[in-house]
Amino acid sequence: MFRKILIANRGEIACRVIRTAQRLGIRTAAVYSEADADAWHVEMADEAYGIGAAPARESYLNIGRILEVAERSGAQAIHPGYGFLSENAEFAEACEKAGIVFIGPPASAIRAMGLKAAAKDLIARSGVPVVPGYQGAEQDLASFAEAAARIGYPVLLKASAGGGGKGMRIAGGPEELAGAMASAKREAASSFGNDRLLLERYLTRPRHIEVQVFADRYGNVIPLYERDCSIQRRYQKVIEEAPAPGLDAAQRNAMGDAACAAASAIGYVNAGTVEFIVQGDVFYFMEMNTRLQVEHPVTEAITGLDLVEWQLRVAAGERLPRRREDLRMEGHAIETRIYAEDPRHDFRPSIGKLTHLRSPCQSEFVRVDSGVRAGDSISIHYDPMIAKLIVRGADRDEAVARLRQALAEYEIAGVTTNVAFLSAVAAHPAYERAELDTGFLERYGAELLTPPRAASRTVLAAAVLHVLIEEQQKTEERAAASNDPWSPWDELTAWRMNGEGYQDLLFQDGERELTLRVYPRRKGAWRVDFPDGSGQLEKRAGAAYLDGAKLTCNAVESGNELIVFEEGADYHLKRIDPLTPHGAEREAGGRLTAPMPGRIMQVLVQKGAAVKYGAPLLILEAMKMEYTITAPVDGTIDEIRYAPGDVVEEGAELITLS
């Protein structure tokens, strides 16, 4: 076994690999960019080395710099994690030339699966069924139009060199093909440096099921069961579970055999995932990911195995720890990805500091894999994933129940997250019935992305209690520091001459302003006038009670807001100072600003052009994703402030129109 390994990655996966290495007594060396100097993986590792500026191409994608650090640290092997250089054949070859073990497949296998078109041809020759499509060298519109007409619409355009949902577009008919091709090519070139596309028949109600495979250097290849990854947004997985619901033993064995055949066909070694598109009883090979997958913990949960340990042992030259006939599957597991993103605005990434972060309590049934802590920042430069939440149950019903409970315990402030959205998915009847396919979120989006609800009585009570306790603490601190600790100015009795003492607390809840009148009773007790009537609020024995019922929500401060968490949802209340003039700030309707830092990819209008509401004006790329900025009103373009290629900051005024 290795004495020391270097982890050429960051965040959650770097922390994940470090934990297994530490358990096995292997020293770890981390690398970090300037943006990650204080990151958790840097703190966890035995050693850490800076490798460059924040942009990934100057740090985590810098092969030469990473190999220099590996040599300097004395690492015997490099674990690439996932993303970055994990599926880079040149990196695997460079490690081999440098005498360092690449903890992954050989470069030849990465290269064989790296280009989807060639991979499909290779896999088809091995007898594994593939989706009808076009992988030809001709990349012009006419060739794709001819192929699409032969295959039949709708069709799916995919980046040949890509993965992770990048560079994928659907064309529902001939009139949509040109636009879909142009957009897919741009994103493919930006994400992978290669704009080559392939085309496939788009199945209308498919499931996305993948098989975890493992192979050693001695020709042994086994499947470690399957995962259902059908709940997706933008072709990126949101919820994964194992085993796949409704899959019988015959289908499971057939897909396992096909996955092993695909791996054997390219001389595969180490961990990999063969992905299938499934409709009814028929399955087709889609692609092979030549690395450890983000969702590998659900496989670990049902098998009791540590797949990172298997990776290390196989890379060190050992045989697979188990044979296929020795494997056992127990229970059901589900993983959700907790992202800093805004589901109500097309899942736009949310950038900022995690001012508050409380994860569910971990146990034998609940696991949280994360690479960030409270106080860390979600950066524009990297994936906005905060954590992976993994739950396990004796069966799927129990796992779903635990998922709902764990999501209800999550509290995150400082960025917008998808926690409430995931809670809505987990509570949806169709999800409970395991009616899964890749169109799930699109089909039920209106039900899942409901407008923010008004703060309830219990939410307002939690906000009031937070303010009162904070004021009490400040008053006690002021009294303790005073020469007169019994001064009446350091009391919170709300005493008034000729009347009952009270205090008014003002909040902004969405569009409505609320005044809550609070009457102190005894220490730790108040009467509160809510919009729907009075209530008795108490704080005792470390818990809060409203009208005798224990409050289950919690309030925290974040910037100028109070955020109240209740059963997986969060409510944002602004505290209003009655002594400060206030009013709704309205942004000028004719100004369009950048929703986040990014690069202008394309300007779609000219100065003086007349545009209608919703018309696309320009395309902004941020965090390797494209966002179309549209006209907020009918009008005329007055000024275009940026050109293609320009980098803009969040809030930068892009276009003015009248």
The residues annotated with a catalytic role in the active site are 291
Q: What is the DSSP string of 83-121?
A: STTTT-HHHHHHHHHTT-EESS--HHHHHHHHSHHHHHH
For residues 649 and 641, give the distance between their C-alpha atoms in angstroms, rounded to a whole number: 13
Residue 580 has a CB neighbour count (10 Å cut-off) of 6
For residues 396 and 291, give the distance between their C-alpha atoms in angstroms, rounded to a whole number: 27
**Distance set, CA 341 to CA 19, 164, 349, 379, 424 (Å):** 27, 17, 4, 12, 15
SS3 390: strand
- Cis peptide, bond prior to residue 154, ω within 30 of zero: yes
The bridge status of strand 616-622 relative to strand 598-603 is: antiparallel
Does residue 214 contact residue 270 with C-beta atoms inside 8 Å?
A: yes
> Which two structure tokens, joined as six digits, stand for 341?
């993103």
Strand partners, 602: 619
State the angle between helix axes of 107-114 and 116-125 in degrees (0 to 180), rounded to the nearest 10: 100
For residues 425 and 142, give the distance between their C-alpha atoms in angstroms, rounded to a whole number: 41
DSSP 8-class letter at 512: E
The bridge status of strand 341-342 relative to strand 348-349 is: antiparallel
Amino acid identity of residue 611, one-letter, is V
Rg over alpha carbons for the chain, rounded to the nearest Å, is 28
> Which two structure tokens, joined as six digits, stand for 361?
């309590």
Q: Closest by alpha carbon to 576, among 657, 505, 475, 478?
A: 505
Burial status of residue 606 (CB atoms within 10 A of its CB: 0-12, 13-18, 19 or more): exposed
Work out the widest C-alpha separation in the chain, in whole angstroms: 93
